[in-house]
Each structure stands twice: as structure tokens, then as C-alpha cells.
Amino acid sequence: MDYRPLGHTGLSVSAVCLGTMTWGSQNSEAEAHAQIDCALDHGINFLDTAEMYPVTPTKLETQGRTEEYIGSWIAHSGKRDKIVLASKVSGPSRWVPVRGGANRLDRANIEAAIDTSLRRLQTDYLDLYQLHWPDRGVPMFGGRGMQAITDDANAVPIEETLGVLADLVKAGKIRAVGVSNETPWGVAEFLRLARDQGLPRVASIQNAYNLLNRVFEIGLAEFALREGVGLLAYSPLAAGYLSGKYLGGFDPKGSRRDVAKQFLRYVTPNQPQAVARYLGIAHAFGLSPEALALGFVYAQPFVTSSIIGATSLAQLKADIAASLTPLPDEAYAAIADIYALYPDPCP
């Protein structure tokens, strides 16, 4: 396992991060604990969660259960110091009405969110606290382009949000700040405010990145490389599509597409053709589809950590091994050819 710096925080995190968004819906508490233990045994020290998890599917009655499962593991194991723990505060509600559905990234909501998360997680602090998505109106989760400003009248300015996070850092409740589902303009504004006003500097950007969605490379990769604000890549397997299990319109029972109908990001016209060609590359080089997809993400120089999630220990172990599989140069050349034909079919 490779360990990489988390921005300028002084923390080092494993280049594979354990994702948790199925815990509490598709995975039981015991299974969640077993996954953490397995991850630690394989050199993973980085866990990512969110106040709104689980999201497979998203339900009000299960919201927060994932953090509770991690908290019970911390309490039972006594190994809080063995993990770098990240969570997220929800922006304006899009799926689950967190805090009654009136939540914004303002002081009242962020302070309520962090205190609730810390209580569920049974810890005094978070190593990384991320804004799950912006408060302002931006294209995300499959949206393309921006033709007009669509901010809500009550949108909270980034300066105000970052000021609240600064107070949480001073209080010792969080060690570092990150963003998620963010744009180049947003990252630039966070960095400007940190520089000009002495506010916390964002340490990471958690955005989708995989063979079907490489838009991070267009504007954000330069920030990652020049400013040390690395990518925490979620959906490196494109929500399972790059495994090939959905080709032909097949929905395996218990799969994400079967249980979480809201994930439509990868249901696009050119996705099946692109997936089929990437599977062909994997076959040609004697690789599993997972090794091609996860190995590609792991090797990118702007990636701090690749977030993998699993519903079984066997899948988790296979995905860890796949992430650590080096790809031959010829495979990268073949990937480039496919990308030229199907650039970012699932942004």
C-alpha cells in the first residue's frame, strides 16, 4: 500500500480509502466492523463516510446509521488512533431532508451536523470534514455545463461557510477541511479565502473519477498538482458499471442499480459501448475489469486516495488487490484510444 500526503495537513493516508455508504442498508453492523478490520489488515488507514449515509437506498429512517456503525467499531476496538476518519456535512437537501430539509452550509447547520456526527461516531474529532456538495447552484451528479447562475436566494457564501469551519478547527473538533462535488471556480475561491483571510486551506477534493468520467482532469487536476489539493476519487468503478455486470441491461439482484434507483449518472447513451471496449482492453492484457479500472485511478498523479466500497469481504479484498495492480504502458495507450472515441460519457 502506498501512503500519500493529505494536502498540507501533515497527515498521510492510504492510497486506497474504505468507502462506507452501503453500511446500514446493504451491510449490517457486524459486516461493517469486519470490513474495517479487513481494511486495516491490508494497510488501509483511511475511512470516508457522511452524515447522510447510507444511500443504497436513501431513506430518512436509516440516515446516520453508517456513522453509528463506525462509532460502535471505534468504541469496541479502541483503535481510533489507527484510522484517518473523514465525514461530510450535507448541503441543501436533495434526497433526504437532513435537519428537517432546511439545512444550508451556515453556522447553525454545520455546528449541529458536526456535533451529531461526533456523537454517532463516538469520537472527539474528525481528521477531515468535507462539504458534501456546494450550497450554491452548480452542475453535478451528471450535470453538464453552466449557462446561468442558479443560486438560491438563501445560498450561503463560501466565506461564511469557511469561517464556521475555521472555528471548528480552533475548537479541535476537526483537523482539516475538504470539499466534494466541487468545481474549479469553487476550489479557487476556497484557496483565495484561505490565502487572503487566513481561513483553513482545503486539503482535498472528493469528486467522481473513473474511466467513464475524467472531467476532473479538465480544470481541477491542475489545482491538485500545483496547490497540493489532491483528489479523493469516488466511484472509481463507476458505480459498478466498469465491472461489466450491467451490460445488456442486466440488473443483478442486490446490486446498486437494483436497490438504489436514484443513481442515474451512468445511464447514458454511450456508456455501454465505452464499457464494452474497456472490458476488451482488460481481456487483452489478462486483467480483470476491476484491475483495469481501479489500477488506472490509483496510478494518477493527482489522486490522493481512491475510495472503494464493497458489500462483501470477498469483494473488498478483490478490489484492494485490483487497485494495487500496475497496468502495462500498452494498456494506457489503449485506454487513450477509447477515451478519444468516448470522452467522459458519464460526467
Cβ atoms of 180 and 138 within 8 Å: the answer is no
Q: What is the DSSP string of 235-247?
A: -TTTTTGGGTTTG
Q: Rounded to whole angstroms, what are the CA distances from 107 to 113, 150, 340?
A: 10, 22, 45
CATH code at position 222: 3.20.20.100
For 249, the grid coordinates are 441491461
Residue 223 lies in a domain: yes
Residue 176 confidence (pLDDT): 98
Residue 253 lies in a domain: no
Overall pTM > 0.85: yes
Residue 247 lies in a domain: no
The answer for residues whose C-beta is within 8 angstroms of residue 167's C-beta and 6 or more apart is: none
| Mean pLDDT for back-to-back runs of 10 residues, the chain (347 residues) | 98 98 97 98 98 92 96 98 98 81 93 98 98 92 85 94 98 98 97 98 98 97 98 97 87 65 83 97 98 98 98 97 98 98 96
Q: Rounded to whole angstroms, what are the CA distances from 90 to 110, 159, 218?
A: 9, 17, 26
Q: What is the dihedral of CA 277, 283, 287, 292, to 10 degrees?
A: 0
Residue 97 lies in a domain: yes
Residue 35 lies in a domain: yes
Residue 244 lies in a domain: no
Catalytic center residues: 53
Residue 174 lies in a domain: yes
Q: Rounded to whole angstroms, what are the CA distances from 285 to 42, 281, 323?
A: 26, 6, 16
- Count the helices and strands in the chain (H runs, E runs): 12, 10
Longest dimension (CA), the chain: 55
One-letter amino acid at 165 equals L
Q: Specify the number of domains making up the chain.
A: 1
Residue 101 confidence (pLDDT): 83
Cβ atoms of 89 and 114 within 8 Å: the answer is yes
Residue 339 confidence (pLDDT): 98
**Cα-Cα-Cα-Cα dihedral sign, residues 34, 35, 37, 42:** positive
Q: What are the strands, taking DSSP E only, across 148-239?
A: 177-180, 202-208, 230-234
Query: Which structural domain, as residue segments, surrounds residue 77?
Result: 3-238+300-327
Residue 146 confidence (pLDDT): 87
Residue 333 lies in a domain: no
Residue 207 confidence (pLDDT): 98
Residue 255 confidence (pLDDT): 64
Q: Rounded to whole angstroms, what are the CA distances from 74 to 52, 127, 132, 307?
A: 19, 14, 23, 20
